[in-house]
Copies of this chain bind each other. A is one copy, B any other.
Amino acid sequence: MSHLYKHLRIHQVFGANTDVGKTIITTALIRASLLNNNRVFYLKPVSTGAPQDADDEHIKRYAGPQKHLLDAHCLFRYGDPVSPHLAVKMASEKQGGEVAPMPSDETFVNSVAEHIRKRAKVMNMPAHMYVETAGGVHSPTLSGTTQLDSYRPLFLPTILIGDSKLGGISSTISSFESLSLRGYIVDAILLFRDEYYRNFEYLTQYFSERGIHVSALDPPPPRIDDHAENFANTEKYYSNLVPDSHRGNIFNAVEHLDKCHTQRIQELDSMPRRTLDAIWWPFVQHGSVKSEKDVTVIDSAWSDFFSIYDTSSGKTSQPTSLLQPQLDGSASWWTQAVGHSHPTLALAAANAAGRYGHVMFPQATHLPALKLAERLLQGPGKGWASRAFFSDNGSTGMEVALKMALRSFIISSGLELTSPEKQSLGVIGLKGSYHGDTIGAMDACEEGVYTCEWHKAKGYWFEPPTVSLRRGQVAVSLPPALTGDQHQAVEIFENLAHVYDVEQRMKSPLAGHYRQYLEKNIRHLQEDNSRKLAALVLEPIVMGAGGMIFVDPLFQRIMVDVVRDPTLFPAALPVIYDEVFVGLYRLGFESAGPLLGVNPDISVNAKILTGGVLPLAVTMTSDRIFQAFKSDNKIDALLHGHSYTAHAVGCQVANATLDMIDGLTKSDQWVTANRKWAPTGAHSKVWSFWDPDFLTSISRLDIVDEAMALGTVLAIKFKVNDAGYASHSAQALLQTMRSPQDDGSTSSAPGGGPFGVHYRTLGNVAYFMTSLNTSRATIETLEDRLWSIISNARL
């Protein structure tokens, strides 16, 4: 991940094109850095072309009077003056046609990171490092990935060498935009002063409006054939450009880069204090935030990792990077699908922002929203949904779902209700439900920690039987209410596949028991006239915020069957699946309908929908629900909307995300890689990213009450006295995971090295969650880390 050292200022040099003077300007920068009494490290990760023409040789030759303070290196060198991805191929062809193994992106970026790390360690005076790329910003590296994407894990601040030739205004601005859309920090743009095309004039103005420093430098003399004369001319050029008097644009540029470096560290350093002074965090008791150390400063993120500012690391005798990798172990509140900062999603966001901005939606349409609606109706809505309604987040999506359900229930049951009767319509649900924090969504849940003054629980919530591994065994645990006495009962299964084979289990005695229990209790509720039941509201399979409760799917299936049983409900209750957390492969399946064997009337998707970039929710409904709102009177319409309803940026990002998820889940490789780890047998409808042996072993530990994994999710519940939401027990237990640990892990952060883990807990439950494309190695490292901590812990 990102490298940042107090006394070593590093910049990566990108070119707006090939042949724009990257090496010459870098030489000038180095010469100035050296004259300012800095040790200078120069790195050319890849060089193609004749060795004597290589950039590192040029740099060494013209480094000036202080050249003894220069350390110049090249990591990968190829003879043909072509793009690196071709040079690798050509080199192997010359060696008899056999293709030599091509360094992977990971190997490549790790070797650059390793080089930086070593230099940082031997550093004994203020130092500058310049990492010079090859060709233009998007020129491919060895593997064929373009440089901007290859180097992105390192997130080094950049210098862009502008193009001073005809057409160079365009290539400079485009290159800047490509850098920007990958989040790169561009500290300066440097280019030659060409008096005819005068690009520097235009670009200075253009970028000053965008807050970017531009410097123009005199161009080099023409190259001539006579070596000695060429050398003399060039040396003279450099000594004019970088005079001993420490004056001129190049020194201003070096000073500016120094300032950017200092300011970046100062800013990171100030962020905890400023945050504690200005921000009110969600779900955080600010009274428990004791110091700046309790603030996680996220400088950037990439793939599954945050880059975290770590104030402690800079203070050790062995300088390590001020920025450290931290695995985003809860997929940023369950939102990430393909990892952070994916360029495809950034470009999708930009494209929609550039084509539409937000365009208002009532009686209007635009492609991103229409396509998203259609693909969701053909995806999780397939076979039952006819309409998509857009809103901004899971909570608003659920408010919409509830409004739809209540109204359609009234219409289909032919009731004439007074306002107080409408207000007291109730839902059936499960204890532990959570549907978001707006008060309407809250009212579909029991009173609990999340609820607030105006909350009024409107409904009845059954305590559910749950699924987990307990002491190595797959168990369905029945709460006392279901056993009929004061004790929990446990039914053991051979494996999870059996538990989730709902159709098979419909014939089991337990199914009969569930049905009987639900029918009896629901009849009681109906006899009690205080609250008319109007909808069934479920988080299928897992109740997330309630504590990662894996509900027995059979119980949920039978709940749906019961509320659709005409002997109990002459007008079937609308069934809402809140799939905000569970849907779109978070738990390994697109939607829970096929798993439960019954589809809802209304469902809500959000979170992973937009690939972990920005908020958007979609409520899907059957046609029956939609028709209930149709009439000739505007007042009968669903009068709900948000200003940014169906915002094009969110819809476009969602479409791009669903494209990527499709590609991923339909690839044999992905299915094989993950099904291998299915805890549930090869033909199961469910599977998990987590090793079943690990899961079984963890569940056998004394301090573990139960453990469970499905799809990308792992949950571990500890045996503690203090188990409520306010408990910090799980958090305290895992505290050490936050810091990187050099424990010989099988996986490293991008750029190599150990990483910390950012995790979330709910009372005595710790849970972990990956993206859909997280590597096996990362998951295994996390498993090893967890095993090592938990198996050694005593509560």
Contact = CB atoms under 8 A, between A and B. Distances in A.
Given A332-B359, A342-B357, A632 B396 contact: no
Interface stretch (A117-125, A606-614, A704-712): A606-614
A202 B144 contact: yes
Interface in A160-213: 166-167, 169-175, 177-178, 180-184, 196-198, 202
Interface in A278-297: 278-289, 294-297
A298 interface: yes
Nearest 5 pairs between A and B by C-beta?
A183-B355, A136-B170, A282-B641, A439-B440, A18-B167
B136 A167 contact: yes
Given A18-B167, A443-B439, A178 B183 contact: no
Contacts of A403: 452-454
A283 B642 CA distance: 10
A138 B170 contact: yes
A82 interface: yes
Interface in A604-651: 606-607, 611-615, 621, 626, 629-645, 647, 649-650
A454 B426 CA distance: 9
B285 A633 contact: yes
Given A138-B170, A341-B356, A450-B640, 7 more contacts: A18-B170, A85-B202, A184-B354, A277-B386, A393-B396, A437-B639, A606-B643
A393 B282 contact: no
Interface string A741-771: 0000000000000000010100000000000
A363 B295 contact: yes
A556 interface: no
Interface stretch (A65-73, A370-378, A507-515): A370-378
B637 A82 contact: no
Contacts of A155: 355
B637 A437 contact: no
Contacts of A138: 169-174
Contacts of A637: 283-287
B335 A358 contact: yes
Interface stretch (A23-31, A219-227, A345-353, A516-524): A345-353
A495 interface: no
Contact of A281 (B271, B335, B363): B363
A790 to B, nearest CB: 23
Given A280-B626, A363-B284, A357 B340 contact: yes
Interface string A433-477: 000111111110001011011111010000000000000000000
B288 A632 contact: yes
Contact of A345 (B287, B353, B386, B725): B353
Chain A, interface size category, equals 35 or more
A539 interface: no
B373 A281 contact: no
27 contacts: A15-B167, A17-B170, A86-B198, A144-B202, A170-B175, A174-B174, A181-B347, A183-B352, A271-B370, A275-B365, A280-B638, A282-B640, A285-B632, A289-B363, A298-B356, A298-B359, A301-B357, A345-B353, A353-B613, A353-B614, A357-B612, A394-B643, A437-B641, A437-B642, A440-B440, A614-B650, A615-B642
Given A437-B642, A453-B422, A613-B647, A367 B271 contact: yes
B167 A17 contact: yes
Contacts of A301: 355-357, 359
A452 B272 CA distance: 43
Contacts of A388: 278-280
A49 to B, nearest CB: 10
Given A286-B626, A449-B639, A146 B167 contact: no
A649 B614 contact: yes
Given A174-B177, A354-B346, A395 B280 contact: no
A93 interface: no
Contact of A167 (B19, B279, B449): B19
A47 interface: no
A443 B454 contact: yes
Interface in A535-588: none
B396 A419 contact: no
Most B Cβ at <10 Å: residue of A144, A282, A356, A450: A282
Contacts of A310: none
A533 to B, nearest CB: 13
A359 B347 contact: no
A370 to B, nearest CB: 6
Most B Cβ at <10 Å: residue of A271, A332, A452: A452
Interface string A638-666: 11111111010110010000000000000
A644 B614 contact: yes
A366 interface: yes
A144 to B, nearest CB: 7
Given A178-B174, A301-B356, A353-B346, A630 B286 contact: yes
A577 B287 CA distance: 27
A410 interface: yes
Nearest to A410: B453
Contacts of A285: 629-634, 636-637
A178 B180 contact: no
Given A352-B183, A373-B279, A644 B393 contact: yes
Contact of A422 (B169, B171, B454): B454
A221 to B, nearest CB: 23
A548 to B, nearest CB: 16
A407 interface: yes
A309 to B, nearest CB: 9
A288 B633 CA distance: 8
A384 to B, nearest CB: 14
A614 B651 CA distance: 11
Contacts of A339: 357
A267 interface: yes
Nearest to A205: B144
A369 interface: yes
Contacts of A345: 353, 357
